[in-house]
Amino acid sequence: MTDALDAADELNRRVVAARTEPGRSVQLEALSLAVIANLPVLLWGEPGIGKSAGLELLAGTLGVPLETVIASVHEPSDFAGLPIIGADPAADGVPMAPPDWAVRVARDGRGLVFFDELSSAPPAVQAALLRVVLERRVGSLALPPAVRIVAAANPPASAADGWHLSPPLANRFVHLRWTHEPRTVARGLAGTWPAPPVPVVDPAAISGAVARARGVVSGFLTARPGLAHHLPADAEARGGAWPSPRSWEMALRLLAAGYATGARPEAVSAAVVGAVGDGAGLEILAYLEELDLPDPERVLARPEAFALPERGDRQLAFLTAVVAAVQGEPTRERWEAGWAVLAKAVDAGVPDVAARAAADLAALRDTSWPVPDGIDGFVDLLQLSGAFG
């Protein structure tokens, strides 16, 4: 009988054996951006569509361990921790012991924690998971910063005993729709699966990426303040992505990750929409497409060579990005270059557009730095604010 099973195992090994070839996947690239930004991400897709396989591929590409936890079969105490009696409870309290998977992740110091079947978990379990996602704590154990959190869920209509996610939990995830490509499946079952590359952060691009992302989000919300927070009316929409100050911060981090990695626009778009929802996401993407924001680092290197955009919203986004770039590395040379940029707003007859950026730039001044010439057009504003009092 042993020989027969050995032959069966060899048969099964050959059936699942496959080679890989280079390929591209927008959804895997969007997932990678969320992981790079260290944001909790939730994959929505029908059962059996390859969500777990995608996580295994990503973990293998990143070279980190993957810990899978089936949320629907756990109790709230499995995430909140089990109380254990210490030596002196009256003095030390009662610590909450973490489960074994959390201990393994903490010991490794990095990795992906994958909460599967999240929408099949009852509300009490979702409430316990909220602390894991929000505070990154499991019982009394704090997860290391290098640990990333990913979850997967089936739509409530196709999940066993499915539940809508609570709004507080849903608003802490980047929501990505996970689909399949029939041709990819057919070729994979023939023995060849794609191996999409994972975006990698370019250290030299970090400062400019953060500054550009700040300019985009700040400029957009200045123009569309009504989208800063909008809780949907129906339960299903509240269990997905929707705009809030928290999710806009997520969008900011995703845009920065996209700029720093040179990710494809389709992947950045999917990630941003997954943070703030379809309506707000499509609006900021349209705004971003028209914005054509230059790299603020290049502008600071040669402030005399750039031309201020004509549209007011573009001017505001650009000047915000320039100040953010100076803030990331506040040297005297960069600070003075920032004023040279803002002076062009005065020359263009729109000092009011640059007023907020001027106040922020003034706040970065080291007391040993002299007042630059380009500040003349903002003197009255800055004296009122006390920036150079």
DSSP 358-378: HHHHHHT--TTSPPPGGGGGG
Query: Quick one: pLDDT band at residue 383, thresholds 50, 70, 90?
Result: low
Distances (CA, A) of 139 to 75, 94, 126, 131, 303: 13, 11, 15, 9, 52
Tell me how far apart the alpha carbons of residues 187 and 180 are, in angstroms, rounded to a whole number. Answer: 12
Angle of helix 26-36 versus helix 245-261 axis, rounded to 10:
110
For residue 385, what pLDDT is reported? 47
Query: Quick one: pLDDT band at residue 159, thresholds 50, 70, 90?
Result: low
Averaged pLDDT, 59-84? 87
For residue 330, what pLDDT is reported? 93
> pLDDT higher for 88 or 73?
73
Averaged pLDDT, 282-305? 88
Averaged pLDDT, 185-202? 91
234-250 tens-digit pLDDT: 888 898 999 999 999 99
| Fold exhibited by the domain 40-172 | Rossmann fold (3.40.50)
Domain ranges of the chain: 40-172, 203-385
Strands 147-153 and 111-116: parallel
17-47 tens-digit pLDDT: 989 888 889 999 999 999 999 999 999 988 8
